């Protein structure tokens, strides 16, 4: 299990805060309790006195219950350390390799206890499920207006944080004439070369690859069938390889072209530098993106810390943190406009041209059913 190593300084700061809030001063304890009570229902930072009040209340709580945040995923290790260093609040990351479903299950099973997750990082469908089940507390981070309307709950129950686009990666040494689109991968020179990242019946990245192929071939968010037809044709020509994309299959030459998320493609390029000349581009025709989602537990045991964490994630430090992890932060456009973007990190990502749209839950459900029914014939 991968766990975040908390520095002695942070532990000492957290211990000091805990000792202060539980010491002999009844007035201090009452004030801290009152502050937490206010933040438990706060829907904005201004509602309970602003940032100074939020920081004070969060420090009095002394820790944050996070869950399912692998330190090496999307740069979360550095982001958590940055939050701890800035505020002296310890991040307890339970089940770092857990799933979105396990995050919602933990909210239910630990409800009312000090171990209940304060915040979650989940997939879009689980965000909708959690809202429907009344698991989340509404809250709007200070930069709420910088999050696109179709990437957040209007009431503040959840909001997108970071994600990526489906991109095509390839070994430049093997293809003097590089691919330029989904259509180009049907050419004879790509025989035995093209991989998805898993099986679209069960793997989200592969499913997204089929969706992107559908958009590139006359389909829509309501019609994924052209994507399946595309892969049937790719398989018929012998170009499609039913081997999952990974650094090892790329290095071995099994996957000389992959259809995968931008943040994974960039990581392939970095990890294989010197071994494989990996190039990446986001196809203009077939633009498909997906983001992970943030939410605060309705009964968060550390409500001020939860709201401070979300505020930090949607500050330039947090947004650039995800960018440094090769993911697209949801407020990237605002960062660029304000001149606060990490230019070096941004330069690592392939450019994106065009406006992306996101499927509704009904469209996703329908597409998943079509893939389950038709993919076995590919």
Pairing of strands 63-67, 90-94: parallel
269: tokens are 């390029």
pLDDT at 348: 95
Q: Are 159 and 294 in contact (CB under 8 A)?
A: yes
pLDDT at 312: 98
| pLDDT band (50, 70, 90) for residue 375 | very high
Instruction: Choose among 263, 260, 238, 233: nearest CA to 249.
Output: 260
Residue 6 has pLDDT above 80, yes or no: no
pLDDT at 8: 26
106: tokens are 């933990």
| pLDDT band (50, 70, 90) for residue 36 | confident
Predicted TM-score (pTM) of the model is: 0.83
Q: Report in angstroms the alpha-carbon separations of 135 from 105, 138, 213, 312, 345.
A: 10, 10, 35, 22, 35
| CA–CA distance, 366 with 361 (Å, rounded to integer) | 9
| CA–CA distance, 255 with 333 (Å, rounded to integer) | 33
| Cβ neighbourhood burial of 43 (10 Å; 0-12, 13-18, 19+) | middle
| CA–CA distance, 220 with 17 (Å, rounded to integer) | 53
Q: Return the HEC string of the chain.
A: CCCCCCCHHHHHHHHHHHHHHCCCCHHHHHHHHHHHHHHCCCCCHHHHCCHHHHHHHHHHHCEEEEECCCCCCCCHHHHHHHHHHHHCCEEEEECCCCCHHHHHHHHHHCCCCCCCCCEEEECHHHHHHHHHCCCEECCCCCCHHHCCHHHECCCCCCEEEEEEEEEEEEECCCCCCCCCCCHHHHCHHHCCCEEECCCCCCCHHHHHHHHHHHHHCCCECCECHHHHHHHHHHHHCCCECCCCCCHHHHHCCCCCEEEEEHHHHHHHHHHCCCCCCEEEECCCCCCCEEEEEEEEECCCCCHHHHHHHHHHHCCHHHHHHHHHCCCEECCHHHHHHHCCCCHHHHCCCCCCCCCCCCCCHHHHHHHHHHHHHHHHHC
* Segment 108-117 mean pLDDT: 97
| CA–CA distance, 332 with 235 (Å, rounded to integer) | 37
Query: Which distant-in-sequence residues (6+ apart) come within 8 Å of 117 by Cβ?
Result: 65, 66, 67, 94, 103, 106, 107, 110, 297, 300
Q: Report in angstroms the alpha-carbon separations of 271 from 118, 253, 268, 342, 347.
A: 34, 15, 5, 21, 17
C-alpha 287 chain-centroid distance? 18
* Segment 103-125 mean pLDDT: 96
| CA–CA distance, 372 with 367 (Å, rounded to integer) | 9
Strand partners, 3: none
259-295 pLDDT, tens digit each: 999 999 999 999 999 999 999 999 999 999 999 999 9
- Percentage above 90 pLDDT, the chain: 87
Tell which wins on pLDDT, 185 or 27: 185
Residue 7 has pLDDT above 90, yes or no: no
155-199 pLDDT, tens digit each: 999 999 999 999 999 999 999 999 999 999 999 999 999 999 999
């Amino acid at each position: 299990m991968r766990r975040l190593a908390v520095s002695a300084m942070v532990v000492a700061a957290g211990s000091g805060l805990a000792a202060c809030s539980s010491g002999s001063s009844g007035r201090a304890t009452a004030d801290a309790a009152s502050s937490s009570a206010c933040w438990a229902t706060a829907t904005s930072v201004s509602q309970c006195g602003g940032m100074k009040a939020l920081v004070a209340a969060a420090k009095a709580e002394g820790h944050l219950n996070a869950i399912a945040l692998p330190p090496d995923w999307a740069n979360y290790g550095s982001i958590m350390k940055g939050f701890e260093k800035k505020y002296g609040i310890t991040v307890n990351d339970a089940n770092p390799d857990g799933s979105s479903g396990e995050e919602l299950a933990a909210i239910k099973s630990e409800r009312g206890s000090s171990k209940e997750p304060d915040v979650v990082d989940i997939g879009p469908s689980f965000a909708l499920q959690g809202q429907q089940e009344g698991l989340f507390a509404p809250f709007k981070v200070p930069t709420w207006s910088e999050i696109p309307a179709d990437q957040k709950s209007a009431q503040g129950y959840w909001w997108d944080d970071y994600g990526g686009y489906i991109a095509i990666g390839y070994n430049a040494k093997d293809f003097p004439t590089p691919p330029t689109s989904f259509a180009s991968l049907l050419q004879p020179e790509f025989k035995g070369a093209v991989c998805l990242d898993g099986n679209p019946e069960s793997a989200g990245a592969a499913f997204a690859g089929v969706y992107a192929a559908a958009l590139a071939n006359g389909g829509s968010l309501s019609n994924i069938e052209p994507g399946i037809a595309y892969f049937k044709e790719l398989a018929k020509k012998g170009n499609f390889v039913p081997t999952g994309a990974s650094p090892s299959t790329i290095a071995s030459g099994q996957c000389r072209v992959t259809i995968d998320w931008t943040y994974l493609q960039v990581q392939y390029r970095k990890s294989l530098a010197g071994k494989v000349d990996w190039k990446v581009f986001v196809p203009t025709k077939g633009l498909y993106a997906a983001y992970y989602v943030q939410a605060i537990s309705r009964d968060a045991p550390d409500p001020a810390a939860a709201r401070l964490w979300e505020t930090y994630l949607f500050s330039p430090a947090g947004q650039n943190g995800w960018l440094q992890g090769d993911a697209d932060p949801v407020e990237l456009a605002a960062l660029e406009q304000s001149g606060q973007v990490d230019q070096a990190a941004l330069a690592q990502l392939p450019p994106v041209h065009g406006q992306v749209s996101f499927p509704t839950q009904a469209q996703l459900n329908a597409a998943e059913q079509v893939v389950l029914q038709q993919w076995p014939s590919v």
